[in-house]
Amino acid sequence: MVTTLYDVAYFLSSSLLDALGTHLPGILGTALTNSGLIWLLAAVIFGAILLGASMINTIMLIWFERKMLGRFMDRRGAMHVGFAGLLQNFADGLKLFRKNTFKPREADALGYYSGPTAYMVTSLLIFGILPISSGWSDGSLPLTLLLALVIFSFAPLFIFVSAWSSNNKYSLLGGMRSAAQMIAYEVPILIAVVAVVVVAGSFDLTTIVNEQQNYWFWGPLFLALVVFVTGMLAEMERIPFDLPEAEAELVEGWNTEYGGMLFAFFMLADYLRALVGSILVVLLFLGGWTLPSYLPAGLTSFPLAGILWFMIKTYLVFGLFVWIRASLPRVRTDQLLRVGWMRMIPLSLLSIVLAVVLVAVRCLPVFGCLPPVGGT
């Protein structure tokens, strides 16, 4: 039986209201259990689960990065709060939460406050629509991938709004760099995704994952993977593409003026986007929650196995990002834009051609055959 996450939320909400209803007198009890309250509560629980999952994962991701980066730098990373420093980031978050939120006198209040909030909310939205395992969403969104990428590309707008309304030259410069960079890398990412869509024949992420049951797409679509990962690095503004917040030049880039919880919003949203980027790589190229069929079936048959494997893959992909961050220096703006427009776009176009060839051939000697069209 495949239960979706919403089913779980609905079950929780209905059993809660039922339990409440039996204890309430007559008409009130029936009103409680038979009204639309169940759906409302189910939606709230659904959202709460998603929020919790995304926040915990984001914070764990920061811990993971700190630990891994520590090893790359021959040190240990956070290690004192909680076991192996697991609670360090929660402590940091608590500290930021307790801090005063203030606004520079000359800043524009509307943009200053709404920028980080919208950035955070849109990043959360993407996490909400991505399927984490086969039972996560019921596939009622046929264009999940497109929707995710569209929401993903909102970010430069909010960054620019908050940068501009901060009324600080460093913020503004960072915001402009960010907008230029994100727009430049939006294009190759979308084209690279088209290659996946061509092969999988669908914009639905669940279908794309199911299409990878014979072989994962990272092999045959390696070019698209390279373009996608590079583009994602730029979208997440991680080293080597962290020009918008180049500390050496721009203080802290577009969030120079932010402190306290608003800064925490930016920080969390940044890592949330890194999480979402890693999840997208796993979904599009690494077979999502599935494992290769030659591995024993016992590895995937226990409850929540899909989520487990998915998370392991996601963290490994994020590990790759950290590895890149630990290795490469920051590029220059002109290099960044030249690579974006003059290398990445031709490469992504080439990957579409390869994808078309792959669909025409359908069988590759090394990787095996694609499933028949329309079937799963």
Partner 1 sequence: MAASAPPPEKTEENPILWVARPMWTAARQFAKSLVRPSTIIYPFERLEDPKFRDEVQVASGKPIGVGHVWDNYRGVHALNIATCISCNLCAFSCPDVCIEMVTVPGGDPKHPKKCPQIDYGKCSYCGFCSDACPEGCLSMTTRYELSSPKRADLVYSPQKMYEVFQRKLPMSPIRLERPANEDAILLDAPLCIGCNACARDCPTNCITMLDIPKAVAKPGEKLPRRIWKEPVVNDSDCVRCGTCISVCPKECLFWGTHP
C-beta closer to partner 1: residue 181 or 348: 181
Closer by beta carbon to partner 1, 19 or else 183: 183
Q: How far apart are alpha carbons 227 and 222 in whole angstroms?
A: 9
Per the CB < 8 A criterion, the answer to whether 36 and 8 are in contact is no
187 forms part of the interface with partner 1 (CB under 8 A): no
Q: E strands, the chain, where?
A: 363-364, 368-369
Q: CA-CA-CA-CA torsion for 47, 53, 54, 56, nearest 10 degrees?
A: 140
Distances (CA, A) of 206 to 64, 130, 132, 164, 321: 27, 9, 9, 39, 24
Smallest gap from residue 71 Cβ to partner 1 (A):
5
Would you say 72 or 367 has its CB closer to partner 1? 72
> Which 8-state DSSP code applies to residue 368?
E
Instruction: State yes or no: residue 75 binds partner 1 (CB under 8 A).
Output: yes
Query: Where does this chain touch partner 1 (CB under 8 A) — which range of 30-38, 48-56, 211-219, 335-343?
Result: 335-343
In whole angstroms, give the CA distance from residue 376 to residue 371.
Answer: 7
Of 338-357, binders to partner 1 (CB under 8 A) are 338, 341
Contact 215/290 with Cβ under 8 angstroms?
A: no
Contacts of 153 (CB under 8 A, 6+ apart): 182, 186
Tokens representing residue 126 in the block:
């993407």
Which among 165, 161, 162, 160 is positioned nearest to 175, based on CA atoms? 160
Q: Is residue 76 close enough to count as binding partner 1 by CB under 8 A?
A: yes
Region binding partner 1 by CB under 8 A among candidate stretches 264-272, 294-302, 324-332, 344-352: 324-332
Phi, psi of 300 (to 5 degrees): -115, 5
- How many helices (DSSP H) and strands (DSSP E) are in the chain? 16, 2
Stretch that binds partner 1, among 16-24, 65-73, 116-124, 248-256 (CB under 8 A): 65-73
Of 28-36, 67-75, 123-131, 357-365, the window that binds partner 1 (rule: CB under 8 A) is: 67-75
State in angstroms the smallest separation of the CB of 325 from partner 1. 9
* Residue in 304, 323, 363, 376 binding partner 1, rule: CB under 8 A: 323
CA angle 140, 142, 148 (to 5 degrees): 105
Q: Which residues contact 338 (CB under 8 A, 6 or more apart)?
A: none
Q: Which of 72, 113, 154, 367 binds partner 1 (CB under 8 A)?
A: 72
Which of residues 26, 74, 372, 373 is near partner 1 by CB under 8 A?
A: 74
> Which residue lies nearer to partner 1 by CB, 22 or 333?
333
Instruction: From 47-55, 111-119, 167-175, 334-342, give the range in contact with partner 1 by CB under 8 A.
Output: 334-342
Of 64-72, 81-89, 94-102, 138-146, the segment contacting partner 1 by CB under 8 A is: 64-72
Q: Convert residues 211-250 into a mask of x (bound to partner 1 by CB under 8 A) and - (unbound).
A: ----------------------------------------
Of 184 and 195, the one with the shorter C-beta distance to partner 1 is 184
Query: Under the rule (CB under 8 A), what is the footprint of partner 1?
Result: 68, 70-76, 79, 180, 323-324, 326-329, 333-334, 337-338, 341
